[in-house]
Structure 1
């Protein structure tokens, strides 16, 4: 590490602390001083921002774009970012051959041609007048175009709905929305069932909500946080009520997709998701005891089952010990998968089909050597010469 002194391209002198191999230091120093000094560079950047902002403001007026809301510095930067975003999105649209398929928020899809996408950009620019919107998405041009396309499609859908029907739908949304007594989060979490039958949750970008969704087993699918519903998760209404109940308890306002799930969430009357399962491992032809997370108590209890062995993240138990496994499952609160129940019944039927026999045990009483010898002597008239008493 050493200090190098020199003159910047702007004429100001300065010094720089350079580390690394000695043979490279002079080259790094020459490169460093080939630029403007830090003060001049910052001044130049500010002048460039002002110049670009002025150009963007002029273009915004020509394009008749709405004024942005925010602080003076935010608006000054966002005006430039908006023009750059519009140009980037129009270039993307220009590269499209004919049309693209755009997915609605509810999972359905619709094809949009280049003209409709361009209209979507216009609609998005008129709808989003918050400077923060453009600042937050300054590096997400593709995602911004997708947002505009979805909003444009939603607008078209809403325009096709008669006013009285729309009013009725809004009343229903209001009826299905529940707020906690002391809400701590703005906005509404919307729960819905997708076309594929999974549970979906939608909310504004929020780090707390993101962490909450991951903790509850939800995954981002590109348009919403989704949770696949299967045998091991339980019914979708139970999962919607459970997540809705937890969100309300954490200060979120929630819109449910049905009266039933709303009432279940409020009352707490739902079957909680189980993380403890007895499954069937077809490859090993054994039962697999599976649970979520680390639990030494469960491990030690499962390890005591006959023939138990830890394999593939589960405790494997041979099928012939299904009775002992039943006792364990009932004691520790485990549920059986459908396949595991089927294999248990099959094993029970197989066991009941074994041939029954009344087995007689052999006489376990053994004769001593003295008893054997006496028996021989008593049964024979001949006296063994070696055994005669001496005279």
Structure 2
């Protein structure tokens, strides 16, 4: 055992007792010199946990996950555990699908594998909505990926779901998946397109720029081992968006697998194109433009100049906002440029119309203008006398 004076990377110094052979002690001392001191390392760990907790909290809000219950410390760590668990489950889910689409599952096991996928998806949906105790996510962090294999958990899940108002959504059934290929293919790897609730997923194990360009161009993003997009009210139906993706992939030379409805629509291009020009409203808690109309358009279009011609319009990235008072101009703009209104925008129009109807209409008489006086002649200039004399009667006696 020997004492070493360590100059840590963080700038702090300290003494350290190191045992063992001299050669090992020197190596250990150098290792410590290349790292922060124990206090700084602990502070770095805390900062990393805080950052991870913040990211998990932001992700939970973006995904619409319920708030967790527990102490502040439990909630912070529980949100991190929940996000890690859901990410792992998504990767496992994607691997199972890839094994099926890639031909790695025997034919007599395909039905069983698909049933496992359906059960897996039910488990994910259930724990997302039902498990709101932070302690549950912390306690199950190590074994949650195998929950769908545990009969006791599945049975308990069904009982709890039946007793409560918790809705465990079923995925759209993938009835008899079909695999289709274009005449000229760029890859033999199958792209599997699935619809789960409002989510359209694309599973493809290769990293190809041409594939990435297609999916990103349709608004898909990489998330937990697969390309995914949540289909909102303004995006059409999940089936249409899946068919559109399938059509473009087939046209791009990729082999595609999906259910029969999606495949038939993809082959015939029989889907409603996505409408990207919308008028919605700004959130009511916005600090500058609460409840204003919000004019938005697709990335390939440009209506900026046309929208800015509306009275009082303002730029609010990525679109244009307009005070509801000018609803009539907004309606005209939508009619000319084929924009659609969301439900909130239609409600804003109704409110603005009602407000205008309540305004008192008055008949203001025409203003009687005073006739303009124009002097066209200029009087002659007065002659200036050569000598000016003061009248004696006007003089003071003093």
TM-score (ref. length: structure 2): 0.48
- Name the larger-Rg structure: 1
TM-score (ref. length: structure 1): 0.49
